[in-house]
Structures are given as structure tokens and as C-alpha cells.
Amino acid sequence: MIVTDSNTMRQIEAAAVNSGVALRDLMEKAGTQTAALAAKLITEKKLQQVCVLCGSGNNGGDGFVIARLLSVMSNVTVILTAGEPKTELARANFDRLPQNVRILYYTTHYYESIGLVREADMLVDAVYGIGFREGLSADIADLVTFCNENTRAVKIAVDLPSGIECDTGRVLNGCFMADYTVSFTSLKPLHVLYPSADYCGEISVVDVGIPENVLNSSPYTMLSTDSYVKTHPFPKQKKSAHKGTNGTLLSLCGSYGMAGAAILSAEAALRCGVGLLKMAVPSSLYPILAGRLVEPVYIPLAQSEDGLVDIDEYARLMQLINQESDAALIGCGLGLSGNTKSLVALLVDGATRPLVLDADGINAIGVNINILKRSAAPKILTPHPGEMARLLGTTVQAVQADRYRIARDFAAEYNVTLVLKGANTLVATPQGKVYVNLTGNEGMGKGGSGDMLAGMAASFLAQGMTTEEAAVTAVYYHGLAGDICAERFSKRAMLPSDMIVALKTLF
């Protein structure tokens, strides 16, 4: 599924009109599709009082179509939030409203409008569309507040909940809190970014009559990972395949007190099909890990007094990465000290084989981030918002408020494939492509989930995938495993180790 920003959506509509589609037909179909959902809910829940909030633009025109169609089955009131419609199309549909649809002007019928909003069984938000910017005016913010306080009403947003900026997902001073959002033609950035997606409720994408050839030839802002995976299946293995041809992965993970991170990343890598896993670990961890995982080859390393890998192992590790492995994973539970930062910087700077940097592997290069630009190795970075904030010298709030732009720009500037983790994880490539993951759930928000993801991506890299292929494929199947476990064990009880076992079912 594609995600298009507001400018691209306007271009798509213009191209559709140039191909012979009438704008009035697009508006009629948009209203009809939304009314179909509303009618289904009205019938199922036996709703009677429907209130449609309409702005003065074409989004309000969609609302007039909805009001007209629902008037045959419910008591419908239209509240004009900004006076009569100002566009020709919206005006035409306003004039088609039947006499049994009650019309109120919000500014002149304020108390009556608020009373109806409070009593309505269904509230339909058709105030603002994809062109909305900044924040709500004080009077509309009040109206939205009254809508949200009516917790009994079923709330439907037309294309997007009013109060959200389409392209950034920003919510400045209030927002309509929808139970359902009907998006036209494609998803928009606000539907997949957080916190804006939390205001959308259940999102559906409906066809409003854009010709398929127009849509297929149009650019997009983001592509969903499932769409990518469908066109990039796993290559078939030859019958003559062996551990050497299935890739060798070096894992530099784990430290005293953080053995679990090394185990989870290793188990995930093995379940994803890598032929040989070499685990370079502090010597004190060797008996712990060897007692848990029997498949890897272990390389015990000298360690410092704090249980971290000694920097004197640099030359040995560099040889393991560049001469004896197809890819390397650095960072899961590695620990952080001055020597660790220096060691990781040296390895990243000297590596020529593909790398995955996770957790402390990312934190270690934060003080010398430009090393990413110098490094010749293809790289995947998998930061959570806190690690991303540290890399950029900003706050988690700032990262979460602009996830798309931050991921896209960082990947391009530092020539890495960036996996910005979180709800609807983003994958950004150096070429400017951004993928959004729609699998997964909040039950995955537990320690160890990121270690699993890093191991999966590294495994796919070692098997010959590009950084783009490995990152997108890992993120998609990681979320899918989480969804399987949520269904089997519940979101509360599921664990990352359950998700690793679920990979057996997926593959």
C-alpha cells in the first residue's frame, strides 16, 4: 500500500481530471464510500441522531454528500462550521441537501450546535481536509472538544481527523478523536505516523474513482513493507546449498549482565536462515551462551575489568569481519565505556563487509557520528527514538514529532539504511526511499524485541540481501511474528522469545 502526501494527492487528482474523470464524481464517490460505513454502523448499533460537521471547502462537500445519503435512514443535522461553502463543488452538493436535513450555522446557532453535538449518536467530521495547516482556531477547538467529550457517539473522520497536519501528523491544539477514519485513494502520512495515528481509530482506504493507471504512475511518499515483501520474495535455495553458501555472520554482542541480548539476537539470526553464526563474546559469557545455544561457533574474547570486550581485540575482530564473514552485527548488549566507543569506531571505520549497528553499537558512535560517512561498509542502523535523539543531539519528543523527515534526511546524509523503531517502524534508504511497517502491535514493546530485529536483519544481510532488502524484510516479519504471538498468548503475556519461535511458522 502506498502513502501519499498532500501535494502528491493533489497531483493525482489533477491527473485523474486530465484523463477524463470529473471532480464531482470523485466527491460523490468519496461521500458514498464514507456513508456506506456510517450506514453499516447506524444499522448495527441502532443509531438515530447523526450530526455532520462541514467546513467551507471540498471536505465539507464530502460531508454534504454523506448527509444527503444518510438522511433516508436517520435524523441528520449539518453544522456549518465556517459559513456556507466557498467552492463550486461543495456549493453544488450543499444545494442538493434534502429538506429533512437540518442546517445550523455554528457561529449564529452556537448553543444549539453544541447541544446537538453532545446528544448525537454519530458525529461525522468533514471540517478540514489534507490542506489543513497549523492549529485549530479557538472556536473550532471548542467544538472539537465538545465532540470528544461525547464518548457515547460513534465518530467518523472524513479523510483525516480535523486538527492534524496531513504531511507531518502534527497536532498543535486539539484534534477530533475518531473511532473510524475513511481515507480516500491511499493512506496519508498522518495515518501511519504517531501520535496522529492514535486519533484516527480504525483506518480504511477506499476507492473514489482514480484510474488505476494514474495511481500506478504517480510518485508516493512511503510504501508499506508488505507491498515491498510481496514483490521481493526470498530467493530459492539450491539443493546443493550448504552452510558456506548460506552466509556467515559475525555477532559482536553481549557483556557482563547483558547475555540475554546476545542470545536473542543470535537465536533470531539462526531462525532466519544464516548458514554459520560466529559469536565473538567476552570470555566470561562463553559458558553461559554455550549452554543455551549449541549452533554457533564461539570466539571468546579478552575482556576488561568491567566485563566488556577489550580494545586490544580490535585487530582480531577486524579480520573476522572483513575476511571471515559476509556481514557483522555489532551492539546488542555490548555495553558502553570509553574503550568500547573507540573499539566500535575503529571497526565501523575499517569494515568493508555489511554491518548492522544496534543499541550500544549506535550509542558508541554518537560522539563521532561522521564516521558513518567515511565507512565503506554498507550499514543498517536500528535505533529506537531515544537512541535516535542521542545521535542527533535532540529530544525524544522532537524525534517523534517528525519521524518521517528525520529518518529520510538522516539516511541520506549519512549514507545508511535507517530503521527508526517504534509503532509503524520506518525504514529509510540513502536514496530517499521510505517504507512504513504496518505489521506488529504494542505487545512487542518489551526488552529484547529490538535485539531480535537486529539479528534478523543481520542474518538476511549475511545471506546476500542488500541493506534495503534486509531491513524491510526483517521489519515486516518481525512485526508479523509479533502479531502471531499477540493472537496466541495476548499482547500482555507475549515475549520476544515467543516471537523468535513464531518465525518457524512464518518461514
**pLDDT tens-place string over residues 41-55:** 999 999 999 999 999
> Is the residue at 413 inside a domain?
yes
Q: Give the CATH number of the domain where residue 126 resides.
A: 3.40.50.10260
Q: Is the per-residue pLDDT at 6 higher than 90?
A: yes
395 and 452 within one domain: yes
pLDDT score, position 43: 97
Percent of the chain's residues with pLDDT above 70 = 100
Domain count, the chain: 2
Last residue of a domain, one of 220, 252, 277: 220
State how far the Cα of 373 lies from the Cα of 361, in Å rounded to an integer: 16
pLDDT score, position 235: 84
Q: What is the mean pLDDT of residues 272-300?
A: 96
How does residue 352 score in pLDDT terms, banded at 50, 70 and 90? Answer: very high
Residues 436, 222: contact at Cβ < 8 Å? Answer: yes
Q: CA angle, corner 338, sides to 455 and 379, nearest 5?
A: 35
> Is the residue at 347 inside a domain?
yes
146 and 253 within one domain: no
Which residues make Cβ contacts (< 8 Å) with residue 117, sequence separation at least 6? 51, 53, 79, 123, 143, 146, 147, 150
430 and 354 within one domain: yes
196 and 47 within one domain: yes
Supply the range of the domain harboring residue 299: 226-233+244-506
194 and 250 within one domain: no
442 and 323 within one domain: yes
pLDDT score, position 217: 92
pLDDT score, position 236: 85
State how far the Cα of 444 lies from the Cα of 446, in Å rounded to an integer: 6
164 and 298 within one domain: no
The DSSP letter of residue 282 is E
472 and 440 within one domain: yes
Q: Is the per-residue pLDDT at 338 higher than 90?
A: no
Q: Which regions of 291-413 does DSSP assign to beta strands (E)?
A: 297-301, 327-330, 355-357, 379-381
Q: Is the per-residue pLDDT at 195 higher than 90?
A: no
Which residues make Cβ contacts (< 8 Å) with residue 436, sequence separation at least 6? 3, 192, 222, 223, 224, 225, 424, 425, 426, 427
Q: What is the mean pLDDT of residues 416-430?
A: 97
Q: What is the pLDDT of residues 197-210, one digit of tens each?
A: 999 999 999 999 99
Q: What is the pLDDT of residues 75-122, one digit of tens each?
A: 999 999 999 999 999 999 999 999 999 999 999 999 999 999 999 999
257 and 187 within one domain: no
95 and 47 within one domain: yes
The pTM for the full model equals 0.93
Q: Is the per-residue pLDDT at 341 higher than 90?
A: yes
Amino acid at 375: S
> Is the residue at 78 inside a domain?
yes
> Is the residue at 238 inside a domain?
no
State how far the Cα of 55 lies from the Cα of 437, in Å rounded to an integer: 33
Q: Which of 436, 450, 458 has the alpha carbon at shortest distance from 478?
A: 450
State how far the Cα of 189 lies from the Cα of 221, in Å rounded to an integer: 8
Q: How far is CA 433 from the centre of its chain?
A: 14
> Is the residue at 239 inside a domain?
no
